[in-house]
Chain A
Amino acid sequence: MIYRFLAILLLWAGVASAQDMEAPIQQVLQEHGEIIQKSSRRTIGPAIDTLAASGLDDAQAVLERWQAREMWFNKETGAFVFGEEGENRTLILSDVAGGDLGTAPKGDYKQLKPNSGIRGLIGAALVQFQLTAPDAATRAAALDAIERNPEASHLAALRAVTDEPDAELATRSARLERLLTIEFDEDDAARIAAIEGFEGDLGVDVRAALNPLVQTELSFVAAGEADAPLQIGGDITRDDAYALLVSAGEAEAVVTSGEIKEALIANIDGAEVQGIRVAALDTDDARASTYALLSEAGLARPQVTEADINATLAGFDFFRSYTNAPLDVALAAQAVLSGIETKVAVNQTFDLGLDALSLASIYFLAAIGLAITFGVMGVINMAHGEFIMMGAYTGYVVQLFITDYTVSILVAIPLAFAVTFSAGVAMERLVIRWLYHRPLETLLATFGISIALQQLAKNIFGTQARPLTAPGWLDGSLVINDIVSISYIRIAIFVLALLFLALFLFVMNRTRLGLEVRAVTQNPRMAASMGINPDRINMLTFGFGSGIAGIAGVAIGLYAKVTSEMGADYIVQSFMTVVVGGVGNIWGTLLGAGLVGSMQKGIEWLNPSNTLAAQTYMILFIILFIQFRPRGIIALKGRAAEA
Chain B
Amino acid sequence: MADMALHGVRRPLIVRHPSLLIFLTCLALFTVAVTLLAEGVGMGVISTSFVKTLGKTLCLCLVALAMDLVWGYTGILSLGHMAFFGIGGYAIGMWLMYARTEIIVRDSLAQAPLPPTVTEISDGIANQIFGVVGASEFPAIWALAHSFPAQLAFVVLVPGLLALIFGWLAFRSRVTGVYLSILTQAMTLALSLYLFQNDSGLRGNNGLSGLQNLPGFDDVPQSSVSIAFFWASALALALGYLLCSFIVSGKFGSVLRAIRDDEARVRFLGYSVEAYKLIVFVITAMIAGVAGALYYPQAGIINPAEIAPIASIYLAVWVAIGGRGRLYGAVIGTAFVSLLSSWFTGGQAPDINLGFAVIQWVDWWTILLGLSFVAVTLFAPKGIGGLIDLIEERRSPDRHGADLGPDAGALREKEASK
Contact = CB atoms under 8 A, between A and B. Distances in A.
Contact of B178 (A264, A443, A572, A627): A443
B189 A619 contact: yes
Contacts of B196: 612
Contacts of A453: 370
Contacts of A129: none
A278 B313 contact: no
A478 B412 CA distance: 59
B343 interface: no
Contacts of A568: 310
A248 interface: no
> Among B187, B367, B372, which residue has the most Cβ atoms of chain A within 10 A?
B367
A489 to B, nearest CB: 26
Nearest to A622: B186
Interface string A407-451: 000000000000000000000000100110111111111011111
Contacts of A620: 190
A572 B172 CA distance: 23
A279 B175 CA distance: 63
B374 A282 contact: no
A616 interface: yes
A439 B409 contact: yes
Contact of A613 (B181, B191, B194): B194
Interface stretch (B33-41, B109-117, B125-133): B109-117
A612 B193 contact: yes
A630 B174 contact: yes
B396 interface: no
B177 interface: yes
Nearest to B179: A579
Contacts of B411: 437-438
A445 B193 contact: no
Nearest to B119: A284
A50 B299 CA distance: 78
Interface string B61-85: 0000000000000010100000000
B118 interface: yes
A451 B316 CA distance: 13
A127 B313 CA distance: 68
Contact of A282 (B113, B117, B173, B174): B117
B197 interface: yes
> Among A264, A278, A435, A451, which residue has the most Cβ atoms of chain B within 10 A?
A451
Interface residues of B, number: 58
Interface in B97-142: 113-119
A623 B197 CA distance: 21
Given A437-B408, A456-B367, A572 B309 contact: yes
A283 interface: yes
A456 B115 CA distance: 60
B377 A445 contact: yes
A370 to B, nearest CB: 11
A570 to B, nearest CB: 12
A434 B378 contact: yes
Given A440-B77, A449-B374, A451-B373, A626 B197 contact: no
A576 interface: yes
A448 B370 contact: yes
B364 A459 contact: yes
B236 to A, nearest CB: 27
A204 interface: no
B183 interface: yes
B185 A437 contact: no
Contact of A281 (B114, B177, B193): B114
Contact of A261 (B114, B173, B182): B114
Given A444-B316, A572-B185, A612-B194, A281 B115 contact: yes
Q: Is the interface of A mostly helix, strand, loop or mixed?
A: helix
Contact of A264 (B114, B370, B371, B381): B114
B415 interface: yes
B296 to A, nearest CB: 22
A287 interface: yes
B204 to A, nearest CB: 9
Given A283-B118, A437-B408, A441-B381, A431 B186 contact: no
Interface in A121-167: none
B80 to A, nearest CB: 11
A627 B181 contact: no
B342 interface: no
Contact of A624 (B169, B181, B367): B169
Nearest to B313: A447
B177 A439 contact: yes
A452 B371 contact: yes
> Among B115, B178, B313, B317, which residue has the most Cβ atoms of chain A within 10 A?
B178
Contact of A279 (B115, B189, B316): B115
Contacts of B310: 451, 568
B168 to A, nearest CB: 10
B173 A627 contact: yes
A443 B181 contact: yes
Contacts of A627: 169, 172-173
B366 interface: yes
Contacts of B377: 435, 441, 444-445, 448
A304 interface: no
A630 B172 CA distance: 10
Contacts of B316: 444, 447
A281 B169 CA distance: 53
Contact of A447 (B169, B173, B373): B373
B369 A443 contact: no
A459 B359 CA distance: 10
B107 to A, nearest CB: 16
Contacts of A623: 166, 169-170, 183, 186-187, 190
Contacts of B373: 444-445, 447-448, 451
23 contacts: A278-B114, A279-B115, A281-B114, A282-B116, A282-B117, A282-B118, A287-B114, A431-B378, A437-B415, A441-B377, A442-B178, A443-B181, A448-B374, A451-B367, A452-B371, A572-B186, A572-B309, A615-B190, A616-B197, A619-B189, A623-B187, A630-B174, A630-B175
Given A282-B115, A441-B377, A450-B370, 20 more contacts: A265-B114, A278-B115, A281-B115, A283-B117, A434-B378, A435-B378, A437-B415, A438-B409, A440-B177, A445-B377, A447-B373, A449-B374, A451-B370, A452-B369, A454-B366, A455-B363, A615-B190, A616-B197, A622-B186, A627-B173
Q: 3 closest pairs, A vs B, by CB?
A: A452-B370, A448-B373, A451-B370
